[in-house]
Amino acid sequence: MVNLEESFVGKKMMITGGLGFIGSNLAHKLLSLGADIVIVDSLIPDYGGNLFNVEGIKDRVRINIADVRDRSSMDYLVKGQDYIFNLAGQVSHIDSMKDPYTDLEINCRSQLSLLEACRHHNPEVKIVFAGTRQVYGIPDYLPVDEQHLLHPTDVNGINKMAGEWYHILYNNVYGLRATSLRLTNTYGPRQLVKHNRQGFIGWFIRLAVDGEEISIYGDGTQKRDLNYVDDVIDAFLLAAASEEANGQVFNLGGEPVSLLEVAKLLVELCCQASYGLAPFPPEKKRIDIGDYYGDYSKIKALLGWEPKVPLREGLKRTVEFYRRHKEHYWE
> To 5 degrees, how large is the angle CA 47–CA 48–CA 51?
130
pTM for the model stands at 0.96
Report in angstroms the alpha-carbon separations of 52 from 70, 247, 323, 325.
25, 34, 15, 9
Residues 209 and 269: their CA atoms lie apart, in Å, by: 9
Which pLDDT score, from 0 to 100, does residue 90 have?
A: 83
Return the CATH architecture of domain 4-192+226-254+293-308: 3-Layer(aba) Sandwich (3.40)
For the residues of 32-95, what is the DSSP string, one character each? HTT-EEEEEE---TTSS--GGGGTTTTTTSEEEE--TT-HHHHHHHTTT-SEEEE------HHH
Residue 199 is predicted with a pLDDT of 80
pLDDT, position 1: 65
Taking the CB of residue 108, how many other CB atoms lie within 10 A of it? 18
**249 burial via Cβ count (<10 Å: 0-12, 13-18, 19+):** buried
pLDDT at residue 3 in the model: 82
- Mean pLDDT split into 10-residue runs, the chain, 331 residues: 85 97 98 97 84 97 93 96 95 85 92 97 98 96 98 94 98 98 98 83 96 94 97 98 98 97 98 92 80 98 98 98 97 78
Residue type, 278: A
pLDDT at 95: 84
3-state secondary structure of 309: coil
Q: How far is the C-alpha of 272 from the C-alpha of 214, rounded, in Å?
A: 11
3-state DSSP call for residue 205? Answer: helix
Give 26's contacts (C-beta < 8 A, 6+ positions apart).
15, 18, 85, 87, 233, 236
Domain boundaries, the chain: 4-192+226-254+293-308
Give the contacts of 119 (CB within 8 A, at least 6 positions apart): 170, 174, 176
